[in-house]
Amino acid sequence: MKTSADEVFIRKSTVIHFKVNLFEPDRAYENNAASLDSLVSWINRINGNENATLEKITVRSAASPEGGDSYNQSLAEKRARSISLFIIENTGVDRSLIIENPVGSDYEGLRNMVDTVSFQYRDEVIHILDNTPLYVYRNGKIVDSKKKQLMDLRGGRPWFWMLSNLYPSLRRTKVVIDYAERIKRHSELKDTAKSISPTVIPTVIDTTSLAAEPAVRDKVKIVSPVIPTVADTTSATVEVTVSDIPSEIKEVIVRDTVVIRDTVIIRDTIVIRDTIRICDAIEPVPETVPDTLETIVQPIDTFAQQDLIKIFKARVAFSTNVLYDLAITPNFSMEIPIGRRWSTGFNYTFPWYVWDGNTRAYEILHLDIFARYWFNPSEALTGWFAGVNFGGGYFDIQPKGAGYQGEASVISIEAGYNWYINKHWRFTLSAAAGWMGAGYRRYDAIKSTYTHLVERYEGTYTWYGPTRLNVGFTYVFGRNVVKNK
C-alpha cells in the first residue's frame, strides 16, 4: 500500500448586486445579505483550516451599459474596491491575495443574458452586440458606437426592455475564491507491476503498444482505470510476466498515466460552485478566471407580454438648498424633466427680515431660471448634469444703520451631480460660476419718530467667479405607468 499527499483545488463564487450608480454593498438589496455572509463564512473557514491554503480572491465588478463608458469604468473600480475592503475588514485577508478586475460596461455579460431570454428584436440586438465595436471611428473621430446602435434600434424599444429586465443584473460584483486543500490518496499496484524497473531506453513502449505485440499479447494484462471517489483513488493496474517478454525487447518502460478529474457542484441558498480536480500531477489554476455566473431570467412566452413594461414617470421635482437654509435664507427650486436628457426650472430665494425698529434689514427677492442637460438618460434627474442660469432680483441689506438697496443680475454656468436614493429622492451637489452685476444705493437709516432712509450715493458692482453652491435634497413627483413599447 502506497500513501501520498495530494492537493484538491477548489473554487467558490458568489455575486453581490448594486443599485444604479451605487458602489457600496447594500445588504437589504436582492440576495446580498446571504451572499456577503456566505463570502465571509467561507473565507474564515479556509483561514481556520490548517490543511487549506487560500490561493487568491478575484473581485470582478461591472456596470450596466446605460451609463457612459468612462463613468462605468470608474463605478466598476469603486465597486471592486468596496467589496475588497469589505473582505479585508471582515476576514483579515492579506491585501496581496485580492485581485480586482473592474470591467466597466458589461457588454459581455449582456450578451450572455440575451442568449437566455426571448424578446422582440432579440436577433437584431445579438447582431449589434456581436458585430459592432465599442466605438466606430472615421477620420479619427467617433461617428457611431455599440451603445448608440442599441439605443436607436427600433425606436429604443429593445433598449428600454433590457434596461428594465436585464440591466439590474449587470450591476454586480462577482467574487471568486480559489484555494487548495490537502487530502490523502491511496494507490495500489500489483507486485508483478512493481517488479518492473522503469528505465529510459531508446525505444519506449507504453502499455497499449506492449499489449499489441504478438509475442507478448498473451503475457500482458491491462486493467482499465476505475473512476475513483475522493477517498479512494485507484490507478490502472498492469500485470506483466517479465520472463516471457522476448529477448529482442531489451528494456521496457511501462507508462500508465491516469488523470482523474472529479467535479462536485454544491448549491445552497446562493449559487456556489465547487470545482475539485484530483491529478497525479498538479495542474496550475489558470490566471484568467472564467465567468461562470448563471443568470436566470424568466422567459417571456408572447410578444404581447414583453411589450408591456412598468416604469416610474417623473413629472416635477422640488428641492431646497440646505446651505441657504442654514443661513436663514428661505429658498426652493422647481424642475420639470423634458424628455430623457433635458430639464428646466427655477430657483427662488426670498428672505425678508426687518428688525430693530427698521434700522436693520435682510431682504432678498431673487429668481433664477435654468436649463440642464443630463448625461445619464436611464433614470430621470439622476447622475451628472450641466446647465445655464439666468436670474435677477432686488436686495436690501442693512446690517446696522447704513445699508444698501439695489437690483442684481446673474448669468452663470452650472455643473453638478444627483445621487439616486430611491425613485422619489435625490441628493444634489452642484456649483455655478459666471457674471454678476448690481446697481446699488448707499443709505443711512435715521431713527426719530419713525425711521428715515437718507440716500448718500449710488454705484455699480461687477463680479466674475463663483455665484452659487448648492447642497440639498430633491423630491421627485411622478407616477407608475404601464407602457406599451
* pLDDT tens string 198-228: 444 343 344 444 444 454 444 444 444 444 4
222 vs 205: CA distance, rounded Å: 14
Spatial contact of 320 and 301, defined as CB atoms under 8 Å apart = no
Residues contacting residue 254 through CB under 8 Å, at least 6 positions apart: 193, 196, 198, 206, 207, 210, 238, 240
Query: What is the number of residues in the chain?
Result: 485
Q: What pLDDT is stored for residue 141 in this prediction?
A: 86
Q: What pLDDT is stored for residue 300 in this prediction?
A: 34
Place 131 in a pLDDT band, splitting at 50, 70 and 90. Answer: very high
137: its cell numbers: 471611428
Tens of pLDDT along 373-432? 998 876 778 889 999 999 999 999 888 777 888 999 999 999 999 998 888 899 999 999
Whole-Å CA distances, 239 to 247, 255, 280, 419 = 18, 13, 21, 74
Q: What pLDDT is stored for residue 241 in this prediction?
A: 43
Half-sphere exposure of 437 (CA within 13 A, CB side): 3
pTM equals 0.43
Enumerate domains of the chain plus CATH numbers. Answer: 184-244 (no CATH), 310-484 (2.40.160)
What is the mean predicted confidence (pLDDT) over 436-450?
78
Question: Does residue 180 register a pLDDT over 50?
Answer: yes
Tens of pLDDT along 223-268? 444 444 434 433 343 444 444 444 444 344 333 433 434 434 433 3
Q: What pLDDT is stored for residue 8 in this prediction?
A: 83
Question: Does residue 168 register a pLDDT over 80?
Answer: yes
Spatial contact of 100 and 79, defined as CB atoms under 8 Å apart = no
Tens of pLDDT along 47-60? 998 888 999 999 99
What is the mean predicted confidence (pLDDT) over 71-87?
94
